[in-house]
Amino acid sequence: MAKPNVKAVLLSPQRTLGEKPLLVVGPSLGTSTVLWTETAALLGNDFDVIGWDLPGHGVSPAASETFSVAELADAVVDLVDSIAPGAAVFHYAGDSLGGATGLQLGIKHGERLKSLSVQCTGAKLGTPEGWLERAETVRAQGTAVMIQGSAQRWFAPGFMDRQPVVGSRLLHALRDADRFSYAFCCEALAGFDVRAELGSITVPTQALAGVEDTVAPPSFAEEIAAGINAGGGTAIAIALDGVGHLAPAEAPAVVADFMRTFMTEAGK
């Protein structure tokens, strides 16, 4: 395994980094920083918002070998140090695999975090067998084979009808993702299980979940919060009505409001 190389996109207005608190946001498997466009726009006057892309997704180069979710977290820290060298600490938010990366940040790099918002994720997602099977399918057939199933898993009922442009952009990001990098991400998720390590997270944590999410339902957010609180940390779980697996894209105003309140309190 090797630490992957990830790249960033500035999602807030152009200005000198450091004028506002830094917020780093991470994507779901198969998406890109497009996932965060609208939520970031709502937070961009108060925070410098930087999104990162998974290997082989968006602006990040394809991966050439396997990596773990913990190594993704290491890569995010390296990215922050390269683009905002004065930012000793930052807020972090991530959805699905991006949220799993956030948990690893809290476990391994907690001293770098002001706050942690993990969304539509779990301390363990799916089964190793399921992820490894998906990895082999995508290697053989490409990411386009995932589009129909992802459209059903990602969004709450009716979202594609209400927001066809947003939905199409996200599905196009999936279509354009590198098949081998996507498979490496699946394999990283196959080996991801931090349920026993949640108690080591001490940074204030917010776990958001979509009531309509079949991948990471609200019980997953509750498990995260309970595990962190059991170790003496401070975490809260919040369920969002009418939201599926991609909360930042499905309910940007609601997510931005919860995040702003949480980050402002944590930054005091």
Mean pLDDT (whole number) for 90-106: 98
CB burial string 101-137: b at 16+ within 10 A, e below: bbbbbbbbbeebbbbbbbbbbbbbbeeeeebbebbee
Name the domain count of the chain: 1
Average pLDDT over residues 168-197: 97
Residue 209 lies in a domain: yes
Q: Does residue 155 fall inside a structural domain?
A: yes
For 112-169, the pLDDT digits (tens) are 999 999 999 999 999 999 999 999 999 999 999 999 999 899 999 999 999 999 999 9
Does 3 map to a domain? no
Nearest partner of 104 among 55, 80, 77, 70, judged by Cα: 70
Mean pLDDT along residues 203-227: 98
In a domain, residue 2? The reply is no
Widest pairwise Cα distance in the chain: 50
- Measured CA to CA, the distance from residue 7 to residue 51 in angstroms comes to 8
Q: Identify whether 225 is part of a domain.
A: yes
Using a cut of 0.85, tell me whether the model's pTM lies above it.
yes
Residue 1, in any domain of the structure: no
**pLDDT at residue 49, rounded to an integer:** 97
In a domain, residue 57? The reply is yes
Mean pLDDT throughout 241-267?
Answer: 96
Report the CATH number that the domain containing residue 179 is assigned in CATH.
3.40.50.1820
Specify the pLDDT at position 97: 98
Q: Work out the number of other CB atoms within 10 angstroms of the CB of residue 96.
A: 28
Asked if the structure places residue 223 within a domain, the reply is yes
Domain containing 260 equals: 8-266
